[in-house]
Chain A
Amino acid sequence: MAIAAALCCAVPTFAPYRAAHAAPAVSQSRLEAPTYPAHTGPVVDAAHLLSAVQQEQLAQRLRRLREETGVQLVVATVPALQDEPIESFALALCEQWRLGRKGQDDGVLLLVAPTEKRARIEVGYGLEDVLPDIVANQLLAAAVADSGRGLDGAAIGHLVTALELRLRAARKGQGDTSAAPPGLPQLDPEISAWGGVAGIVLLGFVLLWASWGRRRMQAQPFRPLRPEPGARGRFVGQGGGGGALRFILLALLNSIGRGQGRGPRDNGPDDRGGGGGFGGGGASGRW
């Protein structure tokens, strides 16, 4: 019994550091985090700046862009920034929605906040050569100045065109056709490998105990399922071994399953990239 207890206490220590101490996203250091819109698609128009037709057309363009270049460009409008600076709001959205592909960091977010009259283009690490701060600033400034009323539906469309142009030119043909179909959560290979290692190690211990117990019990006649009162340390035998084995196997399965715990995230339909990295690059504009 004590062995099983010790093993169960040890099981959490095999759980990888990353799963147990998942670093909180940058924006969650606030005491009351603002409510972020859900990631429903490539166009999230929470502030109702776009007509239904505009939304659909834009979404199609962005999906095609993603297929052809792999870049996940998302347009989001929010009715209120809720007192959070637009830079951290945009970064929080990028992290929560897991934009871009893991390892390639090719996510871009265009965030428009018409109430506060601000907009931001947030660029992932992997696209900082295509959309450096200067270029993002120029495009945003041009779009804002264009209509004279700041970024409305039409201006957003023009801005997306300009972004698309640059992204297509730089990332032509890098679409990822081998991505898993939407709806299936991507298993983090690192965590599942750890779970496998933990499972193998524990299985090794279990087999060692079981064989040790069985060898010592060979000469003995049939033993009752419950260990005798005087045999505290020898329960890993015939019947007692079976009971402990079941308990340990449960703990094993527990440890493998445990590795899949993660922080909060939005498992929207476009979540298959796995989440690229963002460093705060891009540009903000206001009108």
Chain B
Amino acid sequence: MRELLNKRGLWLVALVLCTSCGFNDVIESDEDVKAAWGEVQNQYKRRSDLVPQLVSTVKGAANFERDTFTQVAEARAKVGSVQMSGEASEDPAKLKQFEDAQAKLGSSLGRLMVVMEKYPELKATSQFRDLQAQLEGTENRIAVARKRFIASVAAYNKVVLLWPSALGAKIRGKQVRPSFEAAPNSEVAPTVQF
């Protein structure tokens, strides 16, 4: 009887110690993902806020590029409508929608900058140069934030899927998260029709 008690006690201790497997790790990695997502949203918003300034600066000099401006305005409106909650969406479809809207804005902005190459007197102004610097800086920050978000989601998914931390994740009810699919602007650069 005593031996049985010891054995049971043994297994109880082992079980208790083992349920620490992933129990806290999954929460820690979840918080990392949320922080990384916050940063991604931050940088995308920063780019979105630059757009009106950019458009108003170039509109005066490039009145004939109405198509380009319309595209940019539409893409920005689309981005504004696909708002995601503060937490990263656990729904892969919504995440893809968000990513696509942002990619469209990115490519229309790229097209705008390519078109502005036709206006050297505009390019020479310090205002345009500053905005271009800000836009490039923001694009770089977006790239960095995306990479970090993807890395944090990968680490979180590892905690959720690998054994034994999968036990703790299951207890907490945490599931695999979707991630971004491709790097932005990975599609072929748009060719401008003159």
A residues neighboring B (CB under 8 Å) = 2-3, 6-7, 9-10, 13-14, 16-18, 20-21, 23-24, 26, 29, 87, 91, 133-134, 136-138, 141, 205, 232-234, 278-284
Contact = CB atoms under 8 A, between A and B. Distances in A.
B87 interface: no
B134 A280 contact: no
B153 to A, nearest CB: 11
Interface residues of B, number: 40
A230 to B, nearest CB: 8
A18 B32 CA distance: 10
A14 B152 CA distance: 20
Interface of B: 2-3, 6-7, 10, 13-14, 17-18, 20-22, 24-25, 28-29, 32, 39, 129-130, 133-134, 136-138, 140-141, 143-145, 147-148, 150-152, 155, 158-159, 164-165
Nearest to A233: B6
Contact of B144 (A14, A24, A280): A280
A14 B147 contact: no
7 closest A-B pairs by CB: A233-B6, A133-B137, A280-B144, A10-B17, A137-B133, A6-B14, A280-B141
Nearest to B42: A279
A133 B134 contact: yes
Contacts of A14: 20
Nearest to A134: B130
B137 A283 contact: yes
A137 B133 CA distance: 6
B98 to A, nearest CB: 20
A227 to B, nearest CB: 12
B17 A6 contact: yes
Given A21-B159, A232-B3, A283-B137, 8 more contacts: A13-B22, A17-B25, A21-B29, A23-B152, A137-B129, A233-B2, A279-B141, A281-B140
Q: Which of B13, B22, B138, B164 has the most CB of A within 10 A?
A: B13
Contact of B140 (A13, A234, A280): A280
B136 A3 contact: no
Given A14-B20, A234-B6, A134 B144 contact: no
